[in-house]
Structure 1
Amino acid sequence: MSRSLPKRRRIYLMRHGSVDYFREDGSAVPPDTVPLNALGRDQADAAGRLFAQCGVQFDSVLVSGLPRTVETATRVLAAGAQPELHLLHEPALEEIRPGRLADIPKHEIEAAFLGAFRVGPNVQSQRFLGGESVGELLDRVLPAFDALLARSDWQCLLMVMHGGVNRALLSRVLAGERAFFGRLEQAPACINVIDVGANDQIVRAVNLAPTQWLHERETMTTMEKLLAQFLRQA
């Protein structure tokens, strides 16, 4: 008896391109308004050209709705010759929400920046910059992801999201319901590849950075860089 091979759909899960969360005077830019910087625009364009070179054609595009995801997706589509696609917004997939930096005691600053993305037995209770906890992030992100997987109106989906959100989604596919791999680094404008079947999901690639394939210029995580920027201005 012949057995039919599994049929799977494809998700290209990106992180938004590079942004500047601090102005030249050291003041913080509100994270819900921050745009791509020049490097981030170049990264998004490079991702779009890569998709075009590889013949990737999206039939749906989903963003969190925050400006940095909208701008990244728009540039990816323009560089990939698919500017006509409409962007769908899903606010439940917005980045893990920070608190106010001014409210964090100085001796807790390092933990506030880095704690949510470290390994530990109580990772779900860790709060990001004094704001939302990892557990609270999972509470809103995972149901939205399940709803997306249940839809039948896409075959090749581009998702442009955030570092924390991407970790949550990749961890779910790799290890189950409430897993969270904080050490799973997500470079600006990186591409992750997930195949979705009727009863399974497969991760094919993680953290592919079109402008820096081997991460040869990287020695720090995104949050370590942000902490260093903050401490220089403090």
Structure 2
Amino acid sequence: MNENPSCRVYLFRHGETANSKEVSFNGHFDVGLSAKGESQFKEWAQVLKHEPFSAIYSSDLKRTRLGAQSLAEPHKLEPVAYPELRELCFGAWEGLSVSEVEKNYPKQLEERMKNTETFQVEGGETFDQLRNRVVPRFEEIISRHPNEHIAMVCHGGVNRVILSHLLKVPIKRIFRIKNLKLSST
């Protein structure tokens, strides 16, 4: 018998958002997926239809719930959404593009690059606060699924916090890991 049962977690970032051409900092802004974003998850659902998922989780924001629903359909599962799995709150930056932030908040953007874990936009969260919100929920979720496979459809910041936690490395080092893309040939 396995003394340390483990849970296999498939981490996904939501698909392309409906406003991805204009906005880089969605944070808690509840935007859906573009047609491309929806088709990205339909492709993933087909690729992973034989994976033995016992549960699928997401944040409570549309862009992750829609992806989770697509993944869940072939498995006849109902995705479970948690607000703790929401993206980092970007406060005053929410709904802005990188160029708008560069223009309106140049010193803050520079500060964010230097102090990733502790930087906080007015009205927003630090990565430390995000970690304190995400990690307890993540640990609770995986504790319910020993020796099982689960999928989690979340956000770039949330996935980085989870990876940072699992790999026991500072969050700033996790930014070197890029999101993978599905490609079919």
What range describes the TM-score normalised by the shorter chain of this pair? 0.7 to 0.9
Equivalent position of 1:58 in the other structure: 53
Equivalent position of 1:12 in the other structure: 10
Equivalent position of 2:128 in the other structure: 135
Query: Structure 1 residue aligned with 2:91, among 88, 99, 103?
Result: 99
Consecutive unaligned residues of structure 2, counting only runs of 5 or more, are: none
Structure 2 CA distance for aligned equivalents of residues 106 and 133 of structure 1: 21
1:156 is displaced (CA, Å) by: 1.3
1:60-97, CA deviations, whole angstroms, 9 ceiling, x for partnerless residues?
A: 1111111111101112233xx22x31111111110001
Q: Tell whether the 8 Å contact from 1:115 to 1:127 is kept in structure 2 after alignment.
A: no
Structure 1 CA distance for aligned equivalents of residues 183 and 38 of structure 2: 11
Equivalent position of 2:62 in the other structure: 67
Greater fraction of residues in helix: 2
Q: Tell whether the 8 Å contact from 1:43 to 1:211 is kept in structure 2 after alignment.
A: no
Structure 2 CA distance for aligned equivalents of residues 163 and 30 of structure 1: 10
Consecutive unaligned residues of structure 1, counting only runs of 5 or more, are: 187-206, 214-234
Change (3 A) 1:6 1:140: closer
Q: Flag the structure with larger Rg.
A: 1
User: TM-score, length-normalised on structure 2?
Assistant: 0.78
User: TM-score, length-normalised on structure 1?
Assistant: 0.63
Output aligned runs, 1:79-98, within 5 Å: 81-82=74-75, 84-98=76-90
Moved over 6 A (4+): 3-6, 102-105
Equivalent position of 1:49 in the other structure: 46
Residue 89 of structure 1 aligns to a residue whose secondary structure is: strand
Q: Tell whether the 8 Å contact from 1:128 to 1:134 is kept in structure 2 after alignment.
A: no
Q: What is the identity percentage for the equivalent residue pairs of Structure 1 and Structure 2? A: 26
Change (3 A) 1:13 1:98: same
